[in-house]
Structure 1
Amino acid sequence: MSGQRDVSMVLETHTTIDPSQKDISEPPKSYTYYHAGPLFTMAELHTNTLLSQAIQRKSSGKFIGILPQDLEQRDQSPHAIRDEDLRALLSCDLGLFTFDGAELDAGTVVEYMFSKMADIPAVVLRSDFRGSGDQGSIGDAWNLMSSNWPRTVGVSVNSLVEYKSALAKTLSRLEVTNPGDLVIDQVAQKVIDGFEKVLQEPPRMPKELRESVYQWLALMPGFRDGSNQQNVEILLKLCGQKQASGLL
């Protein structure tokens, strides 16, 4: 019976705010977010940059993007690139994951699932108007295994419709305005609203498990650089920082 009571006490923290978080008198003035998504074409690289700039500008610096494409990569090996991206993801307060395409970008899905293991609040953005996946009209336009994860807010935008609307506004104003910029600004505001919403959701990870989970996250990927002890110490420090700021 005592074992059942212990489990119940741990699981209660799934839906209630940790009492220690109530002592946080002032939340952070700004948050970093990992800007995950395809980055293989000029269009993708350019859009990632424009969207991250618009999010930071329209949020008055509250949400600051960390783009994998901008990370300094001293080692070009696949293992090193993966490690650098995962470390950057874990260090961020939030995550933005672009789920576009008939098939989702595999790397983005891996990063999203890793963020859920770390209980990182996330916004999933789909700007692709095409239907896909196996959920039909009752679910998301991608594989069902990537849906319904906690502390996640979805943002769906029909890019073509939004672009045509922006183009019409531009033509009616008879002024030189890039309709693409208008669409980027509109999407940026939707993402900002998503960040604000997901920040209101309490952590899913019970307090009693947080340090243990972050120790495992330091070991599980098999980071090439740093000893196991060094990586554990880094992740435990990060866990403490996230708890102190109310993110865990």
Structure 2
Amino acid sequence: MSKTQRSFTVYFAGALFTTKDLIGNAYLAEAIYERSHGRYRSVLPQDASPRGRSPQAIRDHALRALFAADLALFNYDGLELDSGTVAEFMAAKFADIPAVLLRSDARSTTARRPQPWNVMTSFFPRTATVLLPSLPLYHGWHEKRHPRAADDVVRLAGLHASADAQRVCDHIALHCVRAFDRLVALEPVMPKHLREEVYQWLALMPGFRGKAKALRKEFERCLEQKVKRDLL
């Protein structure tokens, strides 16, 4: 089966601690699935049930899900980037996982261009950037469809605001799908003769809880699946 016919899992990295986070993540994951006709299936950490509730159990579960995924999407919104998301992005690059950096925040985190975030998370291979400020998009659709004179009750009862927000989400999802399509067509950066050693190291490097032998087997299976799917 060619890459254009396969479906891929996408690790969905970003904040998940507020109602806005949860709703936004769910909307975008579903929109990506719909826009890609099921080609990209997001793995939402907010839906995960790690074994144990300790900070390390939560971290271990997230990293193992990331390493097992085919691709990853990292939400780079906020005046300060979420430190956990940045850590996950760096881990993805160690594993040569194709990644999309998404920013829908109109505010700038730095004066640097073309990417409005710290230069140390820029310029990595097999990485695509999607920069789509959501507020101007929302205003454009909202003002076009709803005159300013419209009654607040009409807008609220008609669910106009949520419909316009969904259009923004669909637009961003389409650009993410196009970015994923470009990424899966790229050749791996990691040399073939290094990949077994790298994935053995990834099983040890984070200090996962569990037996070393079982962890090595898990990462061997992970690597095997990526090789079969022409991702490594």
Could you state the TM-score of these two structures normalised by the residue count of structure 2? 0.91
Matched, 1:91 2:75: no
Closer/same/farther in 2, CA of residues 85 and 137 from structure 1, 3 Å limit: closer
Deviations 1:92-144 (A, max 9, x none): 100000001111000000000000000000100001111113xx253311111
Equivalent positions of 1:8-87 (< 5 A) are: 25-27=1-3, 29-87=6-64
Query: CA contact under 8 A between 1:166 and 1:180: conserved in structure 2?
Result: no
Deviation at 1:181, TM superposition (A): 0.7
Deviations 1:170-220 (A, max 9, x none): 327x99441101101001101101100111211000000000000000000
Matched, 1:114 2:98: no
Which of 108, 113, 116 is matched with 1:138 structurally?
113
Which of 169, 179, 183 is matched with 1:194 structurally?
179
Partner amino acid, structure 2, of 1:239 = L
Task: Give the equivalent residue in structure 2 for 1:227.
Answer: 211
Structure 1 gap ranges (5+)? 1-24
Matched pairs, number: 220
Q: Distance in 1 between matches of 2:199 and 2:12?
A: 21
Which of 217, 226, 232 is matched with 2:202 structurally?
217
CA RMSD for the aligned pairs? Answer: 1.5
Q: Distance in 1 between matches of 2:112 and 2:61?
A: 37
Query: CA contact under 8 A between 1:32 and 1:65: conserved in structure 2?
Result: yes
Q: Distance in 2 between matches of 1:124 and 1:62?
A: 19
Deviations 1:140-184 (A, max 9, x none): 111110111110000001111101012123327x99441101101
Could you state the TM-score of these two structures normalised by the residue count of structure 1? 0.85
Identical positions, percent:
44
**Structure 2 residue matching 1:65: 3-state secondary structure:** strand
Structure 2 gap ranges (5+)? 148-153
Matched, 1:156 2:131: yes
